[in-house]
DNA sequence: TGCTAAATGAAAAATATTATCATTTACATG
DNA sequence: CATGTAAATGATAATATTTTTCATTTAGCA
């Protein structure tokens, strides 16, 4: 289950961040989209109804949301700085290279591999990045 | 086994690209490094001995090498546009977040997961991105 | 050796991101 | 509910990154 606007608002406040109208608008823009969005795309989306919200505010809001892990950064698609709304549990992403739709998936456990790698390489492993890229059902039909 | 300078040169030529001295220098810079390097870092490395090679040439060379899959782009580290030399077979990366050292690993097969995902999501899956991030042995001792 | 398409370098243009700072505002406190 | 204050905003400038343009040079084939 994805994070709701309300839930995000609560977490922001819990961490001492103010819930400004601008932030609410940015959060709304992200939660209401199936895609992953770049800062510029969010700015455009937001700018239509709220022409006085600046791009800088988008960047600052995204930085906070990412820090609190309320949004995730995606890489396998086009931009390396596009974001999608997060889910509370650990998950990975499946991204449509055509329309940008993101599907979350869970249930794949990398810890066996992580342990093997850690032993072989003597690294202390802190995290990982796993994304699949492909074409969603709709985009397969109409490319 | 990593690609050698000579091997890369051959592949370049096979694809109709000229083997210019500048390209040789860039390739040398990448193959001689354990790290992953940003365009700017490669430029600096190269610029010491070859002050007349421009940054634009670095960008252009990287683009070609990436297109031919002779180098790989890494994401989990700092920059999303840093490159490391590739290996002929399919592999993934383990990256030290401190010094940038990259360890290739193979042998983990994602095709089971890929098939499951494909069935569940009805995506046609074309590729994936898997990187682990952590601290190498040396950096664990002296952080 | 000469020809030609491809590559280079320099400079500028286009994009993307971050810093600065005066002004405004959310919200905790009384 | 009014108010003080730290935090947030917007405008602007600064910085960083990447791409274009174009005149000149050059790798490598004929």
Nearest chain B Cα distance for residue A52, angstroms: 31
Residue A108 scores a pLDDT above 90: no
Residue A38 scores a pLDDT above 70: yes
Mean pLDDT of A108-136: 95
CA of A58: nucleotide with nearest C1': D9
Q: Given an 8 Å threshold on Cβ–Cβ distance, is A94 in contact with B117?
A: yes
Per-residue pLDDT for chain B (143 aa), expressed as one digit of tens each? 778 999 999 999 999 999 999 999 999 999 999 899 999 999 999 999 999 999 999 999 999 999 999 999 999 988 999 999 999 899 999 999 999 999 999 988 899 999 999 999 999 999 999 999 999 999 999 75
User: Torsion-angle region of residue B141: left (phi > 0), alpha (psi -120 to 50) or beta?
Assistant: alpha
pLDDT score at A78: 81
Distance set, CA A83 to CA A69, A92, B42, B134 (Å):
11, 13, 29, 23
pLDDT tens digits for range B74-111: 999 889 999 999 998 999 999 999 999 999 999 888 99
Give the domain range for residue A118. 5-141
pLDDT score at A1: 72
pLDDT score at B3: 87
Cα separation of B109 and B118, whole Å? 15
DSSP lists the bridge partners of residue A13 as none
B22 touches strand C (CB under 7 A): yes
Number of structural domains, chain B? 1
pLDDT score at B143: 58
- List the B57 CA – D20 C1' distance (angstroms): 13
Residue A142 scores a pLDDT above 80: no
pLDDT score at B84: 96
Q: pLDDT grade, residue A143 (50/70/90)?
A: low
pLDDT score at B108: 85
Q: What is the CATH number of the domain that holds B79?
A: 1.10.10.10
CB-CB neighbors (< 8 A) of A124 in chain B? 134-135, 140
End-to-end CA separation in angstroms for chain A? 29
- List the B85 CA – C5 C1' distance (angstroms): 29
Which residues of B in 32-71 have their CB below 7 Å from strand D's atoms?
A: 38-40, 55-56, 59, 63
Residue A9 scores a pLDDT above 70: yes
Cα A105–A111–A115 angle (5° rounding)?
A: 155
């Amino acid at each position: 289950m994805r994070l709701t606007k309300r839930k995000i608002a609560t977490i922001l406040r819990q961490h001492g961040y103010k819930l400004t109208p601008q932030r609410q608008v940015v959060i709304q823009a992200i939660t209401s989209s199936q895609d992953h969005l770049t800062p510029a795309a969010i700015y455009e989306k937001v700018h239509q109804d709220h022409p006085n919200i600046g791009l800088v505010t988008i960047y600052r809001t995204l930085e906070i949301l990412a820090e609190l892990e309320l949004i995730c950064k995606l890489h396998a698609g086009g931009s390396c700085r596009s974001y999608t709304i997060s889910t509370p549990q650990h998950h990975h992403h499946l991204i449509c290279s055509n329309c940008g739709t993101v599907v979350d998936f869970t249930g794949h456990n990398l810890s066996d591999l992580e342990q093997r790698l850690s032993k072989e390489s003597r690294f202390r492993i802190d995290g990982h990045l796993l994304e699949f890229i492909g074409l969603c059902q709709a985009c397969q039909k109409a490319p």
